[in-house]
Structure formats: C-alpha cells, structure tokens
Structure 1
Amino acid sequence: MGRVHFIGGEKGGVGKSLTARLLAQYFIDNATPFMGFDADESHGTFSRFYKDFSAPLQVGDYDSLDNIITTAETYPDHDLIIDLAAQTAARLGQWINESDVFGMFTEMGHQIFIWHVMDDGADAMSLLDKTLESYPQQDLHFIVVQNMGRGEHFEMFEQSPVFQKAQRRNAYCMTLGKLHPKLVQKVDFNDLSFWAAANNRDLMNTPERQRMRVWLDNTYAQLDHFLKHDEKP
C-alpha cells in the first residue's frame, strides 16, 4: 500500500518545499506513483514546479484536508506528499486528532512519515521537540532533515536532549546538502524541475548540470536508505 509524507518543520524558510520537490523528483526518477498537496497558499512553490502532480490544500478547511484521505482511498498504491506551510501544525494536529486520521491510514495499510525540515537554530530544534511530543504514536516514521542550505552548524542539535529523543523514536536523520546559490537562483527563475536542471543543455551549462546530478545522487542515496528498504506490501 501507499505511504503518506507530511513535510513540515513549522518554521518558515527552512526548505520544506525544497524537500517536497526533491521527494517528488525522487519518486519520478524511481517510477513510484505519487500525488502531492501544496498547503502554501502564499507561494505555492511545490505546485509551481510539479503542477502535474499536485493539488492545493487549505489546512484550515476540513473539507480540503479530507481530500487527503479520499485520495489515499482512491489511489491506494500511491505515495502522498503533503507540503505544509509554516505555522500550520496546530490546525493540522486538530484535524488529525479529531478525525483519527492516523487510525484511518493504518486501517488502509498506509505508512505515515512525519518529516521535520530544520535549520541550525534553537527554535527549529524546539519545534522538533513539540512535533515529537504531539505525535506519540509508535508506528510513525520520523525523518529529520538537516538543511545545510539554511545552516552549517548542527553540532548543538546533535548533542541535545531533543536529538536523543528523536533517536529513541527511531527517527532517521538525513543531511540535505547545500546547492550553489547561483544554481538555485537559475532553477528558480526558469521554473525548472530538478530533472530539467540536471539535463537541460539549453539553460544549464555542463558544470551546473553536473553539480545538480551530484546533489541529487547524494540525497537519493539517503532516501534509498529508508524508502527502498521499506518495501510496500
């Protein structure tokens, strides 16, 4: 059956949409069927780059949120990517708890992945602690993404009680490498998917395409670790 990926972090500007886009490209490159939901009403970054795979999501509207469940029922073999906007955790959590969303996913045979994308600030670490406390269910998969594009010093986090708490929850910690700023800007201004950035000879020169391929390969290797070895029934 499918998997449901809530890509969050609660804090703005830490790379949530970047992570959602990366996961979408990973699924495309691995021929994994998926559908996405973009909850960022102000920017809609995920839907801008992967519009053929995404639908808008209003976290404050239960009817809109319920479409996640309907989609999981309609496409049981698809992975779902939910790209969450900043400061949506409380409203999302209310919907999850009032509707027993995780219970419904479990009955459908779906696995649930809670992604926390973070920079190296203390507030991002505190928000991870709140996320771990908010979801005590033991059958959840936690993914902590340390975004090197938004911070270079995660040593304090890795020595913290929050990191130890995440480890006790069997959270997988992955590192999202930093892309060259000029390359990021070029991808953004040309509305390129990561595949296009790695292959489009008209817009990207050879070193740029190679840097993108190296970045994707390094990140894909980490995604393989907990997605390819976590076979769907």
Structure 2
Amino acid sequence: MSTVHFILQGKGGVGKTFTASLLAQFLSDNRTDDPVPLRMIDTDPVNATFSQYQAWPVERLQIQDEGSTRINERRFDDLMELLLNEEADFVIDNGAASFVPLSNYLTENAAISMLVDAGRRVCVHSVITGGQGFGDTINGFNQTAGQMPDDVELYVWLNPYFGKVEHSGKQFKDMAVYKQHKARIRAVIEIPNQSSDTFGADMLDMLEKKLPFNEAVSSDQFSFMS
C-alpha cells in the first residue's frame, strides 16, 4: 500500500521542514522490505528549504505561474495525478504561504477521500510549538484535524524550541484538543529540547547545511563530540 505523508500547519517558522526532513530520514533508513519507491515533494513557493537537501531527490512543485506571486490551485491537480497514479510513498512538505490554498484544494475537491478510496494510506503531520506560537499552532492542528476524513491518520510533533509545549500547566495529552482527536492520533512525537550551547548548536549547524544525521555524523565539518 502506498502511503502519502502531508506536513500541514498554517503557522510559519515552526519546524515543518525540519519535521519533513526527520520523516524523510526515518523512511529512507527503513525501506529494506518496502517494494515501493520513496518520493519527496516541496510545495513551498517562498522558502523551498526541503528541496535544498541534497541527500534525497526532493522535487519542487511549481504552484505559481511564471511572473506571478499568486498561487494557482490548478497546479495541485498535477500533484493529485501523481499521488493517485504512482505506486510510491510520498513526503509532501507544505509552507505557510501555500497552506491555505492546499487546504482549500484538498477540502473542496474531497481529495483526501479520493486518495483513501484509491487505496492510499494518508498520514497528516502537524507541528505544535511552545512559546508565542502555541495558540496559532494548536488551533491550526485542530482546524486541520477537523477537516480530515476519519480514515486519515494524525501525527503530532511537539517542538519545544520556542518554549515548553504546555498551557496553564497542562501537557498536550491533557488538553481538550488532544482528547477530541485522540482516536485518530497515531503518535505524538516529542522533539527533544537540547542545550543551545552544545547539541542544539550542532543541530542548527546541521540544519543550515541541509544535512541528514547520517551525513553529519560522517562529515569532517563536525567534531567527534558533536
């Protein structure tokens, strides 16, 4: 069965592409028994960071007409044709600028239901961050989850980079939004909060160089203790 992974979160700068890269690394490293290829697609028209990774052949989907800053939602037809007709697993990174157009397209065209009916396993990944972006990201997750058919698997990534992912002393799993969607949430992935002086600094350096973990470990750009 082909699996389609969407990274969906309307708030910018919360770690969506970082999440996509972690997912890409995990799937790439665990494909020994998987008969279908893995394809990665970057739909961000502004910050196409995912497509800058050289470790994987990330394809950039052009969703703007030449010379225009307006997103042409008809370009998503090409994406749907690919998802419906090719036997492959997909990781689709989506930026803040294209979140609303893609969400509208998926909802108005019942695109997710079409994928499920075609035998695709659909997974939606959403990032929730601490700090000032907490409210926007948790509302974004709630809205996205509410738009998805029951067959869709939900994955929540908690990113503490900007602060603890909590509200009024409550952890995510104690919140009403988690309890509302709990039956469909397959996993809550907590990104470790590392010291900014050591591991955190190395992580930022790795992200700036667009390197996956295995390449960073073998690179002479990082010290033995990195």
TM-score tier (shorter): 0.7 to 0.9
Matched, 1:163 2:182: no
Offset from partner CA, 1:80-109 (integer Å, 9 cap, x none): 111111153332122113322123212321
Deviation, structure 1 residue 8:
1.7
The change in CA–CA distance for 1:46 and 1:162 in structure 2 (over 3 A counts) is: same
2:216 counterpart letter in structure 1: A
The change in CA–CA distance for 1:182 and 1:113 in structure 2 (over 3 A counts) is: same
> What is residue 14 of structure 2 aligned with on the other side?
14
Matched, 1:100 2:110: yes
Deviation, structure 1 residue 52:
4.3
Q: CA RMSD in A?
A: 2.2
Deviation, structure 1 residue 27:
1.7
The change in CA–CA distance for 1:147 and 1:90 in structure 2 (over 3 A counts) is: same
SS in 2 for 1:19: helix
Pairwise mapping of residues 120-199 of structure 1 onto structure 2 (< 5 A)? 120=130, 121-135=134-148, 137-154=149-166, 155-179=170-194, 180-199=199-218
Q: Answer whether contact 1:15 1:118 (CA < 8 A) is retained.
A: no
* Count of equivalent residues: 205
> What is residue 100 of structure 2 aligned with on the other side?
90
SS in 2 for 1:207: coil
The change in CA–CA distance for 1:144 and 1:52 in structure 2 (over 3 A counts) is: closer
Q: Gaps (5+ residues) in structure 1?
A: 209-233
SS in 1 for 2:95: coil
Q: Answer whether contact 2:128 2:165 (CA < 8 A) is retained.
A: no
Q: Answer whether contact 1:5 1:82 (CA < 8 A) is retained.
A: yes
> What is residue 211 of structure 1 aligned with on the other side?
none
Q: Answer whether contact 1:119 1:151 (CA < 8 A) is retained.
A: yes
CA distance in 1, matches of 2:185, 2:212: 32
Deviation, structure 1 residue 61:
2.4
SS in 2 for 1:10: coil
Q: Answer whether contact 1:15 1:150 (CA < 8 A) is retained.
A: no
Q: Answer whether contact 1:50 1:193 (CA < 8 A) is retained.
A: no
CA distance in 2, matches of 1:160, 1:177: 20
The change in CA–CA distance for 1:50 and 1:9 in structure 2 (over 3 A counts) is: farther
More helix, by proportion:
1
Matched, 1:64 2:79: no
> What is residue 225 of structure 2 aligned with on the other side?
207
> What is residue 67 of structure 2 aligned with on the other side?
none
SS in 2 for 1:41: coil
Deviation, structure 1 residue 19:
0.5
CA distance in 2, matches of 1:112, 1:15: 21
SS in 2 for 1:144: strand
Q: Answer whether contact 1:21 1:50 (CA < 8 A) is retained.
A: no
The change in CA–CA distance for 1:188 and 1:93 in structure 2 (over 3 A counts) is: closer
CA distance in 2, matches of 1:10, 1:128: 9
CA distance in 2, matches of 1:52, 1:70: 22
Deviation, structure 1 residue 198:
2.3
Q: Gaps (5+ residues) in structure 2?
A: 65-70
TM-score (norm 2): 0.81
